[in-house]
């Protein structure tokens, strides 16, 4: 790889990140911020030594097959790498990196925001005033939501983000439960006062709020399947700031419509950017709160993600193992 490698960046990044990339690399930036077309992405794979994609770029096996021999690194601007066929890349000798840690706390904050917003009817209440409807004044029985203090929170995926959610949720007086592929070390369980459920089914059946915080991989696709969603209690809420594909969204929607699940707070969707119109209808009815994939959307976080991408690229160019290398075995 040359000293100033040809780096194709697929989306508009924060200014400071782009400036630094221009200084360090032969950076081909995407200044108009619309995702690259499939043809442009293929072109990039044929020419670039390094590609910096985001969640909106599908770097699948077919695209990797088209890549020229000069492509050596896919430095994802994002933590989740479900947009990339990591196995196909690594097989072809292309390294993959991501941007973990810098978005953990922001995503956990957004999880808490949804976790509070749905039971406490935050958006419904706020929209009364924004919409110009007349507010007839305080009433003892109007706009009542449900308490979250003392309730049971079931975290699906107790990695960095799941733990950051647990830490916050404890401060809000929730009881912490979790399901994870592996049990987390006992010190962490003790610190979080978290109860481990080996059986996801059993946990789902007993929780008041369920938060999805696991990555989307072939093993977690529709982890909350129709069968599992039916185990959830009718008083319970589901929050998802991970990936839409982890939940069978159609069934979740149907169960909320039928009153068999109380509601949901969703930052991610199965077919982004499309959002099921039935979910929008439920949002209008105050049953769900929907956000357009904003979990890590802070000025600070996006700059740090960009800086991480740069460190990964520079370390790789220097011939060292990049700090955030992703291997198929770590997925």
Q: Which residues are catalytic?
A: 243, 272, 293
Handedness of CA 78, 79, 83, 84 (dihedral sign): positive
Give whichever of 174 and 240 is closer to ligand 8YV, judged by the CB atom: 240
Closest distance to ligand 8YV from the beta carbon of 103 (Å)? 5
Give whichever of 116 and 294 is closer to ligand 8YV, judged by the CB atom: 294
Q: Which of residues 149-178 bind ligand 8YV (CB under 6 A)?
A: none
Residue 113 makes CB contacts below 8 A (sequence gap 6+) with none
Is 263 a binding residue for ligand 8YV by CB under 6 A? The answer is: no
Closest distance to ligand 8YV from the beta carbon of 78 (Å)? 3
Is 295 a binding residue for ligand 8YV by CB under 6 A? The answer is: yes
Pick the stretch among 112-120, 133-141, 276-284, 289-297 that binds ligand 8YV (CB under 6 A): 289-297
Pick the stretch among 75-83, 84-92, 221-229, 270-278 that binds ligand 8YV (CB under 6 A): 75-83
Give whichever of 79 and 240 is closer to ligand 8YV, judged by the CB atom: 79
Distance CA 110, CA 296 (A): 8
Distance CA 174, CA 27 (A): 47
b/e for 258-269, b at 16 or more Cβ within 10 A? eeebbbbbbbbb
Residue 11 and residue 37 in contact, taking contact as beta carbons nearer than 8 Å:
no
Residue 310: its H or E element = helix 299-317
Q: Is the peptide bond before 273 cis (omega within 30 degrees of 0)?
A: yes
Residue 51 and residue 71 in contact, taking contact as beta carbons nearer than 8 Å:
yes
Q: Which residues pair with 7 in a beta bridge?
A: 27, 50
Closest distance to ligand 8YV from the beta carbon of 45 (Å)? 18
Closest distance to ligand 8YV from the beta carbon of 159 (Å)? 12
Q: Nearest residue by C-beta to ligand 8YV? A: 78
Closest distance to ligand 8YV from the beta carbon of 224 (Å)? 18
Pick the stretch among 74-82, 147-155, 157-165, 189-197 that binds ligand 8YV (CB under 6 A): 74-82
Closest distance to ligand 8YV from the beta carbon of 101 (Å)? 11
Rg (C-alpha) for the chain, rounded Å, is: 21
b/e for 132-165, b at 16 or more Cβ within 10 A? eeeeeeeeeeeeebeebeebbbbbbbbbbbbbbb
**Residues near ligand 8YV (CB under 6 A), total:** 10
Out of 10, 13, 21, 78, the residue judged to bind ligand 8YV by CB under 6 A: 78
Give whichever of 31 and 171 is closer to ligand 8YV, judged by the CB atom: 31
Is 289 a binding residue for ligand 8YV by CB under 6 A? The answer is: no
Q: What angle do CA 239, 245, 251 make, to 5 degrees?
A: 70
Count Cβ atoms below 10 Å from residue 55 Cβ, excluding itself: 21
Give whichever of 80 and 157 is closer to ligand 8YV, judged by the CB atom: 80
Out of 77, 178, 197, 237, the residue judged to bind ligand 8YV by CB under 6 A: 77
- Return the percent helix, strand and coil in the chain, to nearest 5: 40, 15, 45
Give whichever of 276 and 296 is closer to ligand 8YV, judged by the CB atom: 296
Q: Which of residues 41-60 bind ligand 8YV (CB under 6 A)?
A: 54-55
Closest distance to ligand 8YV from the beta carbon of 109 (Å)? 12
b/e for 166-185, b at 16 or more Cβ within 10 A? bebbbeeebbbbbbbeeebe
Residues lying near ligand 8YV in the complex (CB under 6 A) = 54-55, 77-80, 103, 293, 295-296
């Amino acid at each position: 790889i040359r000293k100033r490698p040809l780096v194709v960046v697929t989306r508009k990044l924060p200014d400071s990140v782009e400036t630094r990339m221009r200084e360090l690399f032969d950076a081909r930036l995407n200044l108009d911020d619309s995702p690259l077309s499939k043809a442009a992405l293929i072109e990039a794979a044929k020419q670039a030594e390094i590609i910096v994609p985001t969640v909106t770029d599908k770097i699948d096996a077919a695209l990797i097959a088209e890549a020229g021999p000069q492509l050596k690194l896919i430095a994802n601007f994002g933590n989740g790498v479900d947009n990339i066929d990591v196995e196909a890349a690594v097989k072809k000798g292309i390294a993959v990196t991501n941007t973990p840690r810098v978005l953990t706390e922001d995503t956990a904050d957004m999880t808490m925001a949804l976790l509070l917003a749905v039971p406490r009817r935050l958006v419904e209440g706020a929209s009364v005033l924004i919409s110009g409807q007349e507010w007839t004044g305080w009433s003892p029985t109007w706009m009542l939501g449900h308490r979250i203090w003392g309730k049971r929170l079931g975290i699906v995926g107790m990695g960095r983000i799941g733990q950051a959610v647990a830490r916050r949720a404890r401060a809000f007086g929730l009881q912490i439960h979790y399901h994870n592929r592996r049990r987390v070390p006992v010190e962490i369980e003790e610190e979080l006062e978290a109860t481990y459920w080996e059986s996801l089914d059993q946990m789902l059946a007993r929780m008041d709020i369920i938060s999805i915080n696991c990555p989307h991989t072939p093993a977690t696709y529709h982890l909350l399947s129709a069968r599992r969603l039916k185990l959830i209690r009718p008083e319970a809420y589901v929050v998802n700031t991970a990936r839409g594909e982890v939940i069978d969204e159609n069934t979740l929607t149907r169960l909320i419509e039928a009153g068999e699940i109380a509601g949901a707070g969703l930052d991610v969707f199965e077919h982004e950017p499309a959002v099921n119109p039935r979910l929008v209808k439920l949002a209008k009815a105050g049953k769900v709160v929907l956000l357009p994939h904003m979990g890590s959307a802070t000025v600070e976080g996006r700059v740090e993600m960009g800086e991480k991408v740069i460190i990964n690229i520079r370390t790789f160019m220097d011939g060292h193992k990049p700090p955030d290398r992703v291997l198929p075995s770590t997925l």
